[in-house]
Amino acid sequence: MTIFLALFFTILIGLILFIFYQFTNKSKWVTWIFLSLLIPIFIFWLYLFNWREPSKDRVESLLGFSIGDDIEVLRDDYYDELRDYDLIYKIKLSDKAIRQIDNNLQQISTFPLNDSISKSNWVKENQIYYYNKTQNSLFYDVKIDIRAKTIEYQETKM
């Protein structure tokens, strides 16, 4: 979706530049300047819309176990400003990955309280696991829905 938005705005800016081009003398160097401006404009729009591959490694390192290879990213939002930082993923998991996660989370919930794993961060309601953690001025919020086979992950700077 972001590629289409970047392409749309690049074409829009290109049309505006083309209109200005019509009112200038049409020499070769003006044509090359006009064409060379479109590539940086396209890259700018891609950067502005944050076109990038989402990193499931970030989620796996927080959870402490693998979420599998067969995943589908349903939502990937990223905002990076001077004052705020949000990273939001919604990931669709395969049957194998969801079974593995459910087994790991059931093991964590059966560990004794004096175990090194902090079980107080995990809360289970029906077939949904919730996890909240604050670390290094970041607040992590994770929701794993076993029935819907999704992970929703959010990172917010405090």
pLDDT band with cut points at 50, 70 and 90 for residue 33: confident
- The whole-chain average pLDDT of the chain stands at 70
**Residue 114: its pLDDT value, please?**
41
**Length of the chain measured in residues:** 158
pLDDT at 96 over 70: yes
Q: Is the dihedral of CA 144, 99, 89, 11 positive or negative?
A: negative
DSSP code of residue 119: G
DSSP code of residue 130: E
pLDDT, tens digit, 9 for 90 and up, residues 104-121: 777 765 554 444 445 557
> Which residue type sits at 108?
I
**117 Cβ neighbours under 8 A, 6+ residues apart:** 64, 108, 111
